[in-house]
Structure 1
Amino acid sequence: MTWLPTGLRARLVITFTVVAVTASAMVAGLGYQLVRKELIERAVRGSVADVRDKLSKITLPVGASDVVWPSDTTVTDEDLAGLVDALNGPARTVIVTYGDHRRTSPGGRFTMSDVPDQLRWQAARRLVYQRVRLRDEPWLIVATQIQRVSQSGTLRTTGLSAYVFVSLGDEEAVLFRFRNALGQAGGITLTIALTVALLSARRVLLPVRRLGAAARALGAGDLHIRLPVRGKDELAELTATFNETAAALEDTVSELRTLESMSRRFVADVSHELRTPLTAMTAVTDMLSEDAEELSEDAGEAVRIVVREIDRLRVLVEHLIEVSRFDSGAAVLRLESVDVGDTLADSLEVRGWADQVKLIVPVGLAFFLDPRRFDVIVANLVGNALHHGSLPVVVTVRLARGGLEVTVRDHGPGIPEQALPHVFDRFFKAGPGRARSVGSGLGLAIAKANAELHQGAITVRRCEPGTLFTLWIPRQ
């Protein structure tokens, strides 16, 4: 798996550094090759010119014949030694051959076996040279057959061959120092490139970071945040666009908050205004329900329908008032130590559910909570189980996970799997069969809000059979 940098800063620094190093390497490489070529060629030209010059000044031995041939015995070892001395010099090795005779400069490091065969063959016709590496050192071999002008003015070969080994060690040392200098310059260039890259990346990314911080603050609800616009580049345009977007978002959110506040106030006002007529209507329907049996069948059914719908409307109004308290932030906790078992028993008995619900709670279990809101939570969960599930309904209480855990389970068909994520949504009713039920669709939402007011939570899951609601309240 190839590692790739994900941060923009890292990518900018790496890109800038790679470009700088690549450019430096190319310039250094080209410069080194040019210097190397010129230095070597100058050394070669100088060595070849020196050999030519020395050859032109040599007085060749002349025997009885017009031209000295390899078979001529007038050429002695002293003559060959004189030629060697004439061609010799510092850091050189000279080999002169004449037929079977060979003469090497004193302290010579090389023999004829070190001369390439092709160079020997070419030297028989003209002066040639070749760069070779011998004993891990660079050398230049200049080879030629010595010629002279005869008495008739004709250029004749003499049978003498000279091989001059010229050391290129000084040039190689110069190139070595030059490479080191280029390496040091490359290191300095890399350091400068990294420094400039870091400074440039910081300068480029600073506005981006400010934009990121401002965007996070905007997402957290700080709609007043704005950034100063500096310059006229793309980042300045992006900053200006962010400011315009933030201003438009602030206006939209402000408008939505105003509308939401008006909506909540309207719901609260309507709910409160409905309480008085509902109270009167409830009193009247109570009287009518007592006489419903004495009325005709149609009139009695109409009275029962009115009583049921008024009761449903009363529950809805009460729930709307409770929801409006949560929305306005007026809901507060009034904590006190209560006996959980007694509180649950009283809640079930008041609603006439004591005979329908099995209660499992440790004796004498005390816990700090708001008894009124705890009663609302339990009543909604148990009422939901009784109205939409099947008996038996079991309420179990225990201390778990550092808090109080209350589970409510029924043994009915259970809530459909696709409806589980939405059971705590306002006005949500699972399935068409519950659309006209007595419930308002707000009970579970109110229970969840009361649990969260205790810093707790409610969860739900399917069982086989039935549904299990779990309420957890932490220790206060």
Structure 2
Amino acid sequence: MRAFTGLRARLVAAFAAVALLASVGASGISYVLVRREMLQRTQEAELIQFRQTFARMVPTSFPPGVATEFAEILAKALATTDGRRKAYVGPSAGSGQLGVPPLPPAGALHARVTADFARRAVKGLVFQRVVGDGRPYLLIGSRVPADEVEMQAPVPVAIVSVSLERVAADLRSFTRSIVVADALALLAALILALLASRGVLRPVRGLGRAARALGSGDFGTRVEVRGADELADLAETFNRTADALEGMVTELRAKDAASRRFVADVSHELRTPLTAMVAATDVLADGTVDDGDGAVLTDGTLAVRLVAEETRRLSRLTDDLLEISRFDAGAARLVLDDVVVAEAVAATLGARGLADRIEVEGPADLVARLDPRRFDVIVANLAGNALRHGRPPVRLGFGRAVRDGRDGLELVVTDGGPGIPAEVLPVIFDRFVKAEAARSRSEGSGLGLSIARENAVLHGGVLEAGNAAEGGAVFTLWLPLAGPGGAEEE
């Protein structure tokens, strides 16, 4: 059924139908025009011949007693020897019988047509095309002048019957030629339709194969773009769709890998404080504890202190994980307000006891539209990271900076430490990344910088990391002063 209902069959049928209608329409118009021209030409030639013969042989009046002989002479002059043209010259239908052998068309049709034609011919030259016995004829007639004596009889007429069989044969030959031409046109249309459908179906089949390959997981599949027609646009659209799909799948795979790594890192980070807490609770039950240097203590104070410390660490890790989950779910929102940057920075450092350890420099009147809580998180993470992993002096400077034609706030945190290792720098903002070569038990969870960057992006800004030429890490935060475009305020 597909061979009769497929795209190829429909294209071929459409081509054939259009070609057939066009050729039949053109042939029909050509036949009508040619037929009219041939009949008109034959008719005009016969009328001219009739008039010339009539004018040459018929006097204005017949002498007495010669009308009958003259009628025979005129009839012979008007007729032809091959029988194609036959003539009758004699009294009109008013005398009853015409008195001559029937002119074609013969039979009953001859009597009716000729009698009626004779009556009309009395009024002058007349002509008419008729069909008798399945053959076409042209009848031409005119009255014959007679003297006053013979005018007492019915008015004589001259009638010529011309066979149009030759014209009909030419028309039949022309019709056969038209039919052959239409058949050839239809055949050519079918061949062209097959070639055209092949040219159309080849890229369509290629697109089908590529779509199946894409569906089976081969996301590198592409189709060749040829020409500049609709099929080329379709191929370009397919390639763009495949690119987007490949990018989405790659991103999903990367997210899946990141999620797996995230789960493993979370498990590791949670296991460390939980292990310490379990050990401490066992000590509380036994009344002894190992201080880590091999000394066994009987006082439970160290165990209580360890439980408290690990509980705080676990609480911070849980808060960081919840914050990361909000970013992943797209649920993080900004609560914007006009913030004096100098006051916000001082409040952040003062709340964490860092004001005396960091040198701050910046204009006191700079105001930016920010989320105060999230800005506090960014500054606290950058300052704490510089103090934990760098060395004094730690400096924090801020001021106006223009990027991409937008006025913004630039905040730079530098330290005097060894800087960020080259192998860590590309992934410094990834989750659970620490500067240590091995995962050691440390205060940080490896989520602070990742959360800081997510907050910067949420504001419509950027957070960058690098190393200073003279040594030390450099973190640069840029946020638009007017706030992110289209940000929702809670």
TM-score, normalising length: structure 1? 0.49
What's the TM-score once normalised by structure 2's chain length?
Answer: 0.47
